[in-house]
Structure 1
Amino acid sequence: MSALSGGRAVFWSRLAAALRLLEAVTVTIPVVVLSQRFRFPVILREPAAVALPLFRAQEAAVVPAYYVFR
C-alpha cells in the first residue's frame, strides 16, 4: 500500500507539474526581457564603454529582470 491514496497522489503529481511549468515561465520571461532590452548575453563580451551606456538607457527594465532571473 502506498503512502498516498490514489486521489492524493494525483493531486500532488499535478501540483508538482504545475510548479515546474511556473518555474520555467518565471525563468524564461526575464531572459527574454534581458535579451530584448540589453542584448544579453552578448553584452557580457562587450567593453564597459559599450555596456554601461546601454545599461543606463535600459536600467528601468534591466534591473528588475536581472533580480527575477537571478
Structure 2
Amino acid sequence: AELIAGTMRPEPIDIIVEGATDRDSAKDQARLLEWELAGATWWLETMWDALDDADRVMARITAGPTVPA
C-alpha cells in the first residue's frame, strides 16, 4: 500500500546492524546468520568499551571478520 501511495521507494535499502562479536564464537556466527536471513546487509562491529585501547582494537581488526555459520 505504501509503495502504491508513493511514500515508499521501490529500490532496496541497506539494513545496518551493530554489535560486538568474537571471531571464533559459534554463537556469534549463528547470530550473524540470523541477521543476514532477516535482511541485514551490513554488520558494524562495535567496541565502544575499547575506545582508549588501540592494542585491543587492532587485535580484533587483525583477527578478521566473524563469518556467518
TM-score tier by shorter-chain length is 0.3 to 0.5
Q: Which is helix-richer, 1 or 2?
A: 1
Q: Which is strand-richer, 1 or 2?
A: 2
Q: TM-score, normalised by structure 1?
A: 0.35
Higher Rg: 1
Q: TM-score, normalised by structure 2?
A: 0.36
